[in-house]
Structure 1
Amino acid sequence: MSKPFQFKQFTIHQDRCAMKIGTDGVLLGSWVPLSNEINSILDIGTGTGVIALMMAQRSYVDTIDAIEIDDDAYEQAVENFEASDWGDRLFCYHASFQEFFQEIDDEYDLLISNPPFYTDDYKTADASRDAARFEDSLPFEHLFVGASHLLSENGRFAVILPYKEENNAIDIAKRVGLYPQKITRVKGNPSSEIKRSMLLFGFDQSDFESEELIIEKTRLQYTKEYIELTKEFYLKM
């Protein structure tokens, strides 16, 4: 049985979720820029609900919605929302993203997603875990088409992906009129290869900033940049 994950201001129960709390979700939830112009947020594929809860902690936004297709994960996200201090601002839809963006007329100022992205052929005997991990349950094309439908005029879409998928994602986004606004590439340590890309998209074409984030100087010795980014959430930061 998976233990609850304790953050500074909320607790995540995750025993019924295929994908447990990991660095990717916490990185994205800490990194995404939040401004006073953001009045509505949607977390796509919320899983445990961690990113939506991070958005609630970091902002005063009234409308923080989430979507989750897996039955058990949906129920657990709802319970995690209700147990938090921000239950009145958090709502989870039990649906696929494809169904959601085709049926919903609402627009959001911020979309955020830590999507399934293992495009390899290897699958396990655990269907729920595979759905949470593998890109074929939410193809990039569907993700970006849906984002272009749901974003408000000046809205932003934030996503974390394997670095090897960065150029592919930018190409797909361009086809639906979305362009990079900011890119942060993540390395585990100074000598390791780039592992992840965090990308922020919007409708305006402009020069964008790109930077690199290193998580550890040496094993379990975190960089000051990583500590600064995540210190409002992790207990040990």
Structure 2
Amino acid sequence: MKIGTDAVLLGAWTCLENNPFSILDIGAGTGVLSLMLAQRSQAEIIDAIEIDDDAYEQCVDNFEQSHWGNRLFCYHASLEEFVEEIEDTYDLIICNPPFYSEDYKTENTQRDLARFQDAMPFEHLLQSVSKLLSENGVFSVIIPNREEALFIMLASKFNLFPNRLLHVKGHPNSEIKRSLIEFSFRKSDIKINELVIETERHQYTPDYISLTKHFYLKM
């Protein structure tokens, strides 16, 4: 699977001010979010979960070849299995979840598993996060903007409340496409910001460059 803009945005935007000791990457794919957080933080434990066989093997290989391999570990399991087995909690949980809720499917089963919401329904994700997140922990996620109100409503059922929110546009005049949301168990005023990625094709805005420059070789 190619590294997408969503993953780069989430990995760069996620706040590390609480200096997490432990981090969990749910649905790690090939491990890009875990690797970004390893680069950005001093967290001693960075665990990842991946259910797809090929993605899991690639994730493990990427971890082993990185500079932070001693802090990274990937579990080959479903989120449900992981929640049942793990008793520890995490200071930071991050997830770039599957989010296509439309009824159609492609002929590529692996891609469907990675991209469609029914592989990890939002409510199941949020319930699991509420069990795995430490008392003062943070949950960071990226979703389609059209799902924002629903996601926040579902999160409140598990006492997870939004603290920061980033609305992402592809271009200055386009609609908001993505919502990046930071949750915790505490209620607060929501800090809302907006980010525009490009002014025109491959002409990135200063804000986007500032956010992601440490992860792109050509910036």
- TM-score, normalising length from structure 2? 0.98
Q: Does 1:206 align with 2:191?
A: no
In the alignment, which of 179, 191, 197 is matched to residue 173 of structure 2?
191
- How much has 1:36 moved relative to structure 2? 4.7
Q: Secondary structure at the match of 2:215?
A: coil
Aligned to 1:49: 31
Q: How do 1:63-78 residues align onto structure 2 when only pairs under 5 Å count? A: 63-78=45-60
Cα distance in 2, alignment partners of residues 206 and 110 from structure 1: 18
Aligned to 2:86: 104
Cα distance in 2, alignment partners of residues 88 and 142 from structure 1: 30
Q: Does 1:221 align with 2:210?
A: no
Cα distance in 1, alignment partners of residues 46 and 132 from structure 2: 14
Please give the root-mean-square deviation of Cα atoms over the aligned residues, in Å: 0.7
Aligned to 2:153: 171
Cα distance in 1, alignment partners of residues 195 and 82 from structure 2: 33
Identity of aligned residues (%): 62
Which stretches in structure 2 are left out of the alignment for 5+ residues?
Answer: none
Q: Secondary structure at the match of 1:56?
A: helix
In the alignment, which of 114, 117, 122 is matched to residue 104 of structure 2?
122
- How much has 1:160 moved relative to structure 2? 0.2
Aligned to 1:182: 164
Cα distance in 1, alignment partners of residues 83 and 91 from structure 2: 15
Q: Secondary structure at the match of 2:192?
A: strand
Which stretches in structure 1 are left out of the alignment for 5+ residues?
Answer: 1-18
Q: Show structure 1 runs of 4+ deviating over 3 A.
A: none
Cα distance in 2, alignment partners of residues 36 and 137 from structure 1: 31
Q: Does 1:58 align with 2:19?
A: no
- How much has 1:37 moved relative to structure 2? 3.4
Cα distance in 2, alignment partners of residues 188 and 75 from structure 1: 32
Deviations 1:66-123 (A, max 9, x none): 0000001000000000000010000000001111112210100000000000001110
Contact 2:89 2:134 in 1 (8 A): yes
Aligned to 1:27: 9
Cα distance in 1, alignment partners of residues 19 and 210 from structure 2: 24
Whichever residue aligns with residue 204 of structure 1, its letter is R
- TM-score, normalising length from structure 1? 0.91
- How much has 1:20 moved relative to structure 2? 1.8
How many residue pairs align between the two structures? Answer: 219
Q: Secondary structure at the match of 2:63?
A: helix
Contact 2:24 2:90 in 1 (8 A): yes
Q: Secondary structure at the match of 1:197?
A: strand
Aligned to 1:95: 77
Contact 2:10 2:142 in 1 (8 A): yes
Q: How do 1:132-147 residues align onto structure 2 when only pairs under 5 Å count? A: 132-147=114-129
